[in-house]
């Protein structure tokens, strides 16, 4: 038996998403260049490319970071989550263009290797006003490269969900590095108040959405208390779970989803083995598919579980 991986799987929805994405990217670049030439006619083409790709990549990173909490707050944003990998890889490519032109313009005309020059042309690490901000951008780009290079399911399968997810959670560290890159770079050197305000709005939006999603998830957690003499934990009444829906509970720090389908009940671990992500995100949510295995409803009115829940065990009462 062998496994084949396709480089990119484009279905109709992804093609439509990519066309819209590329169209908006082209529109942004055109408008940015037009405004730059209108208000700064002396600006060089290289500088326009550097600034346009920098602002675009940073804006796209904000959108990428907001998609996750938006989906937890409102399921109508789920199509964006489904296509987020394409957005992430595209964002990295735009950031790479920015870095390439920046290194060529500022470090390629000397006798020192351009990459070495990034770290040695400015060594004022003890100064805030003269700090070598490009170093922050370099390491952020390195993280984004690792994420883009491992975005395919081939790496998810071979690295394993835990390592793969940990690697891609480094996007928040990359975001922090880029915030410092912008603060100590263009905002400090050019004193751009509107840019500082926009950065503040972006940081507030990312932070606020993550906090709102975390608060909502915390409120929806159902943590049954008490254990019966036989070791089972009472969870809910059977009639509280609608047909083809699920109830999520937290028992001994384990996230468990109780599915009701075809008149039967099944309890499974609610953490997706694909990316360590929750299958069901609400107290009573539509089940995407029946839980694996079989179980029968014995007719009792109370659903109880005996922790710890095994991988495919289905415990009903």
Q: One digit per residue, pLDDT tens: the chain, 317 residues? A: 455 555 556 678 888 888 999 999 999 999 999 999 998 889 899 999 999 999 999 999 999 999 999 988 888 888 888 888 889 999 999 999 999 999 998 888 888 898 888 888 888 888 887 888 899 999 999 999 999 999 887 888 888 878 888 888 999 999 999 999 998 888 777 777 888 899 999 999 999 999 998 888 777 666 666 565 566 777 778 877 888 877 777 777 677 888 888 878 888 777 665 555 544 444 433 333 333 333 333 344 555 555 444 433 333 33
HSE-CB of 231 using CA atoms within 13 angstroms? 5
Nearest to 158 by CA among 313, 5, 316: 5
Distance set, CA 150 to CA 3, 14, 24, 64 (Å): 17, 19, 25, 17
Residues linked to residue 47 through DSSP beta bridges, in sequence order: none
| Segments making up each domain of the chain, as ranges | 12-220, 233-305
Question: DSSP class of residue 237?
Answer: E
Give the architecture-level CATH label for domain 233-305: 3-layer Sandwich (2.102)
Full-prediction pTM beyond 0.95? no
What lies within 8 Å, CB to CB, of 28 at 6+ separation is 52, 56, 59
């Amino acid at each position: 038996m062998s496994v084949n991986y396709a480089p990119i799987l484009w279905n109709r929805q992804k093609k439509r998403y990519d066309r819209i994405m590329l169209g908006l990217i082209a529109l942004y670049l055109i408008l940015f260049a037009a405004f730059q030439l209108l208000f700064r006619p002396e600006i060089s083409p290289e500088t326009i490319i550097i600034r346009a790709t920098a602002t675009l990549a940073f804006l796209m990173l904000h959108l990428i970071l907001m998609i996750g909490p938006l989906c937890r707050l409102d399921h109508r944003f789920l199509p964006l989550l489904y296509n987020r990998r394409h957005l992430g890889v595209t964002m990295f490519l735009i950031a790479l263009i920015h870095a390439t032109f920046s290194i060529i313009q500022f470090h390629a005309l000397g006798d020192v290797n351009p990459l070495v020059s990034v770290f040695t042309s400015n060594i004022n690490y003890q100064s805030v006003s003269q700090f070598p901000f490009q170093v922050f951008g370099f390491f952020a780009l390195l993280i984004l490269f690792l994420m883009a290079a491992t975005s395919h399911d081939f790496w998810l399968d071979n690295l394993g969900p835990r390592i793969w997810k940990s690697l891609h959670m480094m996007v928040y560290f990359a975001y922090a590095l880029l915030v410092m890159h912008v603060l100590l770079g263009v905002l400090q050197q050019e004193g751009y108040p509107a840019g500082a305000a926009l950065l503040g709005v972006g940081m507030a939006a990312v932070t606020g959405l993550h906090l709102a999603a975390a608060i909502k998830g915390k409120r929806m957690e159902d943590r049954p208390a008490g254990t019966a003499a036989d070791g089972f934990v009472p969870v809910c009444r059977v009639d509280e779970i609608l047909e083809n829906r699920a109830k999520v509970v937290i028992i001994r720090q384990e996230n468990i989803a109780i599915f009701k389908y075809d008149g039967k009940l099944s309890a499974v671990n609610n953490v997706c083995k694909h990316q360590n992500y929750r299958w069901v995100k609400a107290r009573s949510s539509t089940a995407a598919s029946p839980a694996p295995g079989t179980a029968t409803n014995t007719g009792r009115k109370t659903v109880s579980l005996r922790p710890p829940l095994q991988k495919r065990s289905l415990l009903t009462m």
